[in-house]
């Protein structure tokens, strides 16, 4: 069974509204109506809830997303009815209640049981309420006596799939890449409740100590990143857009891995940079700050709405060299040919490196992911034509799958002999003479992220 100490308990003051909000949000996700707001709060569901209620609702929603297969397994061990025959709403009630009993040690089991029964009465019927009551009481009794069943499966990978609620195909991929021991460490890290929000300091407007002081004034627990300058980790910051440091443009939200990707590309003041798939804008912002707001950055994206958000972010941060452009990264722009000192190809990907922050990503269909490499190669090939001779091409993803990373780069290099891998260094991590790096949550404390730097051969 998973270690309860890995989960952040929310305290002993229980708000019934929080459970219902989590239940409703999870149901909306399951029905495909909305992706749950897993990091910044409930937009609408939290209306009228206190900060503590919202925090508890978030913890339950995140926790069920992280541990759904395991909660289902526990339910199946005590149910005389196959789970697939249950009404989906009843199964959802079991999931959020079992999660509380098994993982949130400061919540009284009786509260989780009673509130689960209330939800069953409200959203189903008396018979369902009796069923839910019976199952949850059995689970509660076993949990109280430390007799909950261990995760099981037909083989070790199936067992890990149940224990950590990662689909079996993904468990297989991770074991093949990392080996079983490291794969299990990664999955455990993916299910952690302690992942901080990482923010970068806009050094053109403030220093790290000033930002930390402002965050403290707003009641936010924050500290300097362990090894990356001008980077801070925020714990339970609530709505970040309401913080004074954010409103003044002193910080923007970006994981350390994405910041390091820009460091690897190393744009310099006065450069012309093309960010080919720029939304939500973090790499354009990091480049502009590194360039001391001198030079030019073309932040391109296919979505006008996302470009508007980048414009707003650049204005808030005081970054005047960023120009947004509505462009499809698969379609060539002749005006950009061989013009850029640095081209950033941060391509659409499966996102499997950010499961710890967005637990629902693990449930993407494998078939949807298998189509991505063709798109990624097409984007990379197109954007590479914008790199001037002697310039730099950055390929990056927030996934850890070889078929989206190394395989894409190798296919590109076979067809584009004027490009070659270029060595780079990452602060706090080291030098990568082979031109490629994969960052891992359980090793580096960052998002799972792939960074590759290539150089275009100078003109003779």
What string of DSSP letters covers 180-212? HHHHHHHHHHHT-S-PPEEEEE-TTT--HHHHH
Q: How far apart are CA 84 and CA 92, in angstroms?
A: 12
Q: Residues 71, 175, 349, 398: which is the catalytic one?
A: 398
Best CA proximity match to 370, nearest among 416, 404, 332: 404
Question: Is 398 marked active-site?
Answer: yes
Q: What is the DSSP letter of 84?
A: G
Phi-psi sector, 324: left (phi>0), alpha (psi -120 to 50), beta: beta
Half-sphere exposure of 394 (CA within 13 A, CB side): 32
Q: Which residues of 335-360 are buried (b: 16+ CB within 10 A; e: fewer)?
A: ebeebbbbbbbbbebbbbbbbbbbbb
Kindly state the helix (H) or strand (E) to which residue 273 belongs, with its residue range. Answer: strand 272-275
Contacts of 381 (CB under 8 A, 6+ apart): 412, 415, 416
Tell me if 274 sits within 8 A of 300, measured CB to CB. yes
Contacts of 116 (CB under 8 A, 6+ apart): 19, 93, 94, 96, 97, 132, 133, 136
**Bond into 159 cis (ω within 30):** no
Q: How far apart are CA 393 and CA 396, in angstroms?
A: 10
Name the phi and psi angles at 84, rounded to 5.
-65, -15
Residue positions annotated with a catalytic role: 398
């Amino acid at each position: 069974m998973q270690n309860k100490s890995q989960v952040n308990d929310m305290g002993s003051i229980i708000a019934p509204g929080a459970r219902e909000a989590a239940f409703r949000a999870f149901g909306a996700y399951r029905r495909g109506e909305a992706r749950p707001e897993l990091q910044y709060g409930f937009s609408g569901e939290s209306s009228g809830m206190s900060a503590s209620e919202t925090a508890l609702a978030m913890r339950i929603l995140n926790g069920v997303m992280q541990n759904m297969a395991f909660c289902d397994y526990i339910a199946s061990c005590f149910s005389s009815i196959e789970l697939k025959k249950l009404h989906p709403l009843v199964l959802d009630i079991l999931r959020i209640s079992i999660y509380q009993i098994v993982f949130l040690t400061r919540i009284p089991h009786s509260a989780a049981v009673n509130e689960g029964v209330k939800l069953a009465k409200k959203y189903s019927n008396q018979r369902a309420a009796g069923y839910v009551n019976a199952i949850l009481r059995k689970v509660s009794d076993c949990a109280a006596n430390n007799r909950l069943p261990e995760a099981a499966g037909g083989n070790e990978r199936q067992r890990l799939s149940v224990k950590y609620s990662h689909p079996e195909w993904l468990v297989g991929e991770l074991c093949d890449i990392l080996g079983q021991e490291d794969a299990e460490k990664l999955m455990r890290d993916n299910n952690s409740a302690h992942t901080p929000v990482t923010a970068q300091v806009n050094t053109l407007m403030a220093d790290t100590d000033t930002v930390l002081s402002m965050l403290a004034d707003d009641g936010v627990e924050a500290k300097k990143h362990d090894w990356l300058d001008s980077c801070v980790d925020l714990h339970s910051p609530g709505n970040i857009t309401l913080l004074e440091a954010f409103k003044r443009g002193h910080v923007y939200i970006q994981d350390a891995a994405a910041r390091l990707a820009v460091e690897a590309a190393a744009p310099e003041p006065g450069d012309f940079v093309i960010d080919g798939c720029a939304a939500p804008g973090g790499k354009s912002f990091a480049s502009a700050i590194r360039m001391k707001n001198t030079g030019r950055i073309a932040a391109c994206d296919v979505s006008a709405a996302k470009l508007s958000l980048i414009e707003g972010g650049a204005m808030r941060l005081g970054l005047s060299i960023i120009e947004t452009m509505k462009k499809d990264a698969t379609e060539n722009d002749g005006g950009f040919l061989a013009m850029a000192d640095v081209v950033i190809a941060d391509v659409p990907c499966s996102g499997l490196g950010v499961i710890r922050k967005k637990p629902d990503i693990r449930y993407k269909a494998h078939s949807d992911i298998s189509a991505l490499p063709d798109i990624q190669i097409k984007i990379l090939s197109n954007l590479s034509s914008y790199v001037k001779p002697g310039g730099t091409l950055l390929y990056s993803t927030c996934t850890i799958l070889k078929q989206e990373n190394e395989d894409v780069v190798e296919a590109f290099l076979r067809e584009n002999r004027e490009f070659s891998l270029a060595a780079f260094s990452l602060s706090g991590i080291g030098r990568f003479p082979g031109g490629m790096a994969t960052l891992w949550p359980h090793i580096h404390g960052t998002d799972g992220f792939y960074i590759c730097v290539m150089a275009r051969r100078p003109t003779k």
